[in-house]
Amino acid sequence: LARVKVRQVARGKVRRPASTANLVQDTVSSDLLDRVDTFVLDCDGVLWEGATPIDQSIDALRELERLGKRLFFVTNNSAKSRSAYVEKFATLGFEAKQEQIITSAFVAAQHAASLNLNGSVYVVGGDGIRDELQQAGVEVAQEPPGGLEPACTAEEFVNDLVPDSNIKAVIVGCDSSFTYRKICYASRCIQAGAVFISTNLDAGDMHGGVLMPGAGACVGAICSALGRDEPDVNCGKPSSIMLSVIRDSRGVDLSRAAVVGDRLDTDIMLGVTGDAAVTVLTLSGVATVEDVAQAAADG
């Protein structure tokens, strides 16, 4: 675990842990545990990889609960709803409550609801986004003419993909069925005035030791189609919107919280931006010791 200051890794002062469970067993001091009431934990690359739990991660969660620590699971993954995550935790042998889970899909849906759109939202992404929108009372738009056909000609773009005037926002997450036609329709909706919301900007996630494209790749394609650098709103870590949900909606005092994750640009930055008591980088996901050393060298 790389803790608090990335410069410590560059100087060789932080040892590499065998597993996430070392967070409780012998890597974290009793002084640190006294200073921390809450653990804000990422999921992919920290607790599991795909369907496989990372060694002893569930034992670590049980131990933190035994010590009386509050646990929140904050993920940029928008593929599943919070209820689906509750089920996933159950299959891994841990009882998580829905209010403990904060996904980028949930945050995006809550943000869309707060805009009082008086219309629908077109979704480029997984069912997690649609489910959370429905739970928030926000209408989900239908697919455009041609449905999920991947191709789109210039004639179809002009004549068939005319945006539904009821669409007031477009939410983009990681879409495993991402197509050129979706880029075309999303870009037309946004050009017609729809708010462009991203669930997160993660370029990818590690699967089997290989980086697989994530939501950032889908968001980036639509940004490129629009000739712009970023969406109107980003709801994933380390955004201010995500921080607000953690602090205000869940009542987390980050000055007494440990933020745990496997990415420097999202998880650790969330903790730094939110002035967390401590940030913990696990070496079981995306970031490596070399990445930390480079970040330290870059200042």
Which amino acids are annotated catalytic? 37
Residue 193 identity: G
CA dihedral 81, 249, 174, 82 (to 10 degrees): -10
259: nearest Cα among 227, 237, 240: 237
Q: How far apart are CA 154 and CA 57, in angstroms?
A: 50
> By three-state DSSP, how is residue 139 classified?
strand
Polymer length of the chain: 299
Radius of gyration of the chain (CA): 20
Beta-strand pair 70-75/101-103: parallel
Start-end of H helices in 136-177? 154-159
Residue 71 identity: L
Taking a C-beta distance cutoff of 8 angstroms, is the pair 125, 77 a contact? Answer: no
For residue 258, report the phi and psi dihedrals to the nearest 5 degrees.
-105, 125
Residue 103 identity: T
Helix (H) or strand (E) holding 168: strand 167-172
Question: In the beta sheet, which residues pair with residue 297?
Answer: none
**Measured in whole angstroms, how far is the alpha carbon of residue 238 from the centre of its chain?**
9
Taking a C-beta distance cutoff of 8 angstroms, is the pair 279, 4 a contact? Answer: yes
What is the chain's percent helix, strand, coil content, to nearest 5? 40, 20, 40
